Amino acid sequence: MPGRVEGKIACITGAANGLGRCMALTVAREGAIVVATDLQEGDGASLVSEIEAAGGRAIFLRHDVTCEGDWIAVVGAIRTRFGRLDVLVNNAGIGLPNGPATDIDLADWKRLMAVNVDGPFLGVKHALPLMRESGGGSIINVSSIAGIKASANASAYCASKGAVRLFTKSVALECAALKDGVRVNSLHPGIVETAIW
């Protein structure tokens, strides 16, 4: 019996570890061809090996989600190799800094926003045109329960994930108005034991 995403091209950022790795393994098991991106090249290579050993298909691309040039290269590689993109999961994220807002260093704040907010923005900006050319698809931006319910000493993280939530809603409305066949949703996991915590 074919999987739920049989033959679909699925790009997952932050795929080398944690939730991203679980997502990549799951969609590969369901028949997707996985484009796994991350900064962790060794872990990315082991993910591809694990998927291929189970009979799946995957490639790994080194990718800094905060770098627009990297996004252009990743989407270009997908276009060249596969000719289309069906699924984008903007999963890459970081959790620090923690602590009272008055103690957060501006450089740390900006780094967190660059990964958690700029990353999904750049992903949508550069992947959405290819997805539209492909006849539609699905974009999933990984937010957090912290994007819905705030907690003390996590203001930067909560702000970043709240931004992802509303950015996602706005892009979903844009796509709906255009009737372009692209669904845009956010995912809001609770606390999961990964390297981010």
Active site members: 157
Say if CB 71 and CB 125 are below 8 A apart.
Answer: yes
Mention every residue, 6+ apart, whose C-beta is less than 8 A from residue 56. 28, 29, 31, 34
Phi then psi for residue 61, to 5 deg, are -125, 130
Residue 165 in tokens: 């939530």
What residue has token string 């956010």? Answer: 186
- Rounded Cα distance between 194 and 173, Å, is 32
Q: Where are the alpha helices (DSSP H) in the chain?
A: 18-29, 41-53, 68-82, 106-113, 119-133, 155-178
